[in-house]
């Protein structure tokens, strides 16, 4: 019996080692993440804002035929300069000419009926003067004459309308300008009014640019103010005189931006040319200006990560955004001056997580070759 107890520790040792190998390992400590931070300081929205604008004609027309038909020719091309009355497109005139001939035939028939009624009435006037017919019979002939006269006037108007319709087979330029777009091709059967070409009229030019919703109200305050707008062609330092002329009443349904047009007058610019537009917008007080990378959504609220310098941990801080300003957001409330806000890596943090400040010098410093490191 004592002999068996001597071997018992030897038998239990492998089992203990096996159990120790199968037991779960303790969790690895969470790595300390490096974050970029910025210190909150009061700022303001507004100030000088810059947008990209495009030169457009003050008046731009979409021209189409006033009658229906099949388009057989369209000499107008994009970029072509045209003069007043120049032909731009042509319809097949066959049906229009037949309608014109029918109207002319109706006019001749109405003219013959009127001439006969007039001669008949004159003859009955002589008979009434001699007492051979009654006054009622003469009145009946007079009514017939009036009806023939009305039919003649109707036929004349119809013939004139058909004559105009035949002339409408040729689409002409309503003003001098430049063709900026073509919207129908040769061979298409068009209804009356279908746009065929787009014509930018000669004359004053505008610069058109789009602004976000939060800037539209401030721009409306600048209507008519010439010194609040600076327009420069790309690559040039000289500004062109311009005045804000109109601001769209409703936002674009796709981009949610408002279209603004500023008057350039007779400035030497080309249609479609890109211009840089700078505006001095009224300033709005805000708690802070933060980059877009600092803002996140937490439980349906807009929030940021705030760093506690004493413990080097982060916590979630809800904020109220006043609006966008380029690549920044304007914070209306939720932050105090002096707080430190995380601006990069916000989607990898958890509340109370330990962090360290990102050291750009270490991150971008010279790399050490493996061989050199091994020799050390």
Q: Long-range contact list for 245-251, CB < 8 A, 24+ apart?
A: 245/206, 247/216, 247/219, 247/220, 247/223, 248/216, 251/213, 251/216
pLDDT of res. 155: 92
Please tell me the distance from the alpha carbon of residue 190 to that of residue 196, in angstroms, as a whole number: 9
Q: Is residue 161 within 8 Å of 146, Cβ to Cβ?
A: no
pLDDT of res. 375: 39
Q: What is the pLDDT along the chain (376 residues), one digit of tens a residue?
A: 445 555 555 555 565 555 555 556 666 566 778 888 888 876 544 456 788 888 898 889 999 999 999 999 999 999 999 999 999 999 999 888 998 899 999 999 999 999 999 998 899 888 888 888 888 888 898 899 999 999 999 999 999 988 888 889 999 999 999 999 999 999 999 999 999 999 999 888 888 999 888 778 778 887 877 767 888 887 777 788 888 888 988 888 888 889 999 888 888 888 888 888 888 765 555 557 788 888 888 777 888 889 888 888 888 888 887 766 667 777 877 888 888 888 887 788 888 888 888 765 433 333 333 334 333 3
Do 33-45+287-361 and 93-168 come out as alike in CATH topology?
no
Q: Which residues contact 3 (CB under 8 A, 6 or more apart)?
A: none
Q: Is residue 60 within 8 Å of 198, Cβ to Cβ?
A: yes
Q: Is residue 322 within 8 Å of 365, Cβ to Cβ?
A: no
CA angle 221, 226, 231 (to 5 degrees): 105
Tokens of 104: 């002319």
- DSSP string of 37-96, one letter each residue: EEE---EEEEEEEEEEEEEEES-EEEEE-SS-EEEEE----TT-EE-TT-EEEEE--HHH
The 10s digit of each residue's pLDDT in 260-307 is: 998 888 888 888 888 888 887 655 555 577 888 888 887 778 888 898
Please tell me the distance from the alpha carbon of residue 15 to that of residue 21, in angstroms, as a whole number: 10
3-state SS, residue 295: coil
Tokens of 95: 């049906």
- DSSP string of 147-203, one letter each residue: HHHHHHHHHHHHHHHHHHHHHTTEEE-SSSEEEEEE---TT-EE-TT-EEEEEEESS
The alpha-carbon radius of gyration of the chain (Å, integer) is 43
Which residue's structure tokens are 């932050």? 335
List the one residue out of 79, 74, 93 whose CA is nearest residue 172: 74
CATH code: domain 60-92+171-202 is: 2.40.50.100
- Domain 48-59+203-284 CATH superfamily: Efflux pump adaptor protein, beta barrel domain (2.40.30.170)
- Domain 93-168 CATH superfamily: Helix hairpin bin (1.10.287.470)
- Answer yes or no: pTM beyond 0.85: no
pLDDT of res. 326: 63
- DSSP string of 210-271, one letter each residue: EEEHHHHHHHHTTTT-GGGEEEEETT--PPBP-EEEEE-SS--TTT-EEEEEEEEET-S--T
Neighbours of 232 (CB within 10 A): 14
Which residue's structure tokens are 């001439």? 115
Q: Which CATH architecture has domain 33-45+287-361?
A: Beta Barrel (2.40)
Which residue's structure tokens are 């991150």? 363
User: CA torsion 92→98→100→103, rounded to 10°?
Assistant: -160
Which residue's structure tokens are 């769209």? 248
Please tell me the distance from the alpha carbon of residue 157 to that of residue 312, in angstroms, as a whole number: 91
**Residue spans per domain, the chain:** 33-45+287-361, 48-59+203-284, 60-92+171-202, 93-168
């Amino acid at each position: 019996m004592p002999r068996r107890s001597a071997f018992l520790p030897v038998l239990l040792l492998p089992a203990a080692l096996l159990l120790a190998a199968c037991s779960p390992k303790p969790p690895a400590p969470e790595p300390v993440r490096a974050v970029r931070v910025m210190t909150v300081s009061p700022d303001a929205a507004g100030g000088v804002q810059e947008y990209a604008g495009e030169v457009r004609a003050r008046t731009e027309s979409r021209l189409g035929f006033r009658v229906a038909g099949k388009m057989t020719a369209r000499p107008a091309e994009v970029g072509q300069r045209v003069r007043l009355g120049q032909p731009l497109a042509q319809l097949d005139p066959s049906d229009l000419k037949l309608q014109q001939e029918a109207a002319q035939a109706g006019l001749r028939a109405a003219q013959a009926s009127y001439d006969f009624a007039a001669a008949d009435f004159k003859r009955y006037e002589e008979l009434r003067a001699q007492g051979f017919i009654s006054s009622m019979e003469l009145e009946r002939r007079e009514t017939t004459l009036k009806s023939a006269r009305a039919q003649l006037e109707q036929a004349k108007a119809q013939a004139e309308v058909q004559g105009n319709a035949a002339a409408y087979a040729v689409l002409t330029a309503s003003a001098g300008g430049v063709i900026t777009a073509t919207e129908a091709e040769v061979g298409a059967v068009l209804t009356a009014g279908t746009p065929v070409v787009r014509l930018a009229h000669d004359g004053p030019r505008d610069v058109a640019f789009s602004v976000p919703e939060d800037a539209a109200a401030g721009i409306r305050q600048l209507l008519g103010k010439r010194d609040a707008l600076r327009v420069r062609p790309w690559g040039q330092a000289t500004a062109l005189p311009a005045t804000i002329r109109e601001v769209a009443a409703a936002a674009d349904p796709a981009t949610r931006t408002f279209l603004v047009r500023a008057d350039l007058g007779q400035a030497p610019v080309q249609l479609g040319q890109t211009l840089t537009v700078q505006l001095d917008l009224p300033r709005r007080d805000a708690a802070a200006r933060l980059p877009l990378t600092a803002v996140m959504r937490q439980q349906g609220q807009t929030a940021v990560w705030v760093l506690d310098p004493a413990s080097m941990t982060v916590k979630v801080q809800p904020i109220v955004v006043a609006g966008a300003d380029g690549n920044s957001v304007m914070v209306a409330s939720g932050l105090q001056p002096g707080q430190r806000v995380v601006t990069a890596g916000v989607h990898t943090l958890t509340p109370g997580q330990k962090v360290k400040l990102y050291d750009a010098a270490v991150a971008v410093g010279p790399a050490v070759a493996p061989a050199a490191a091994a020799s050390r």
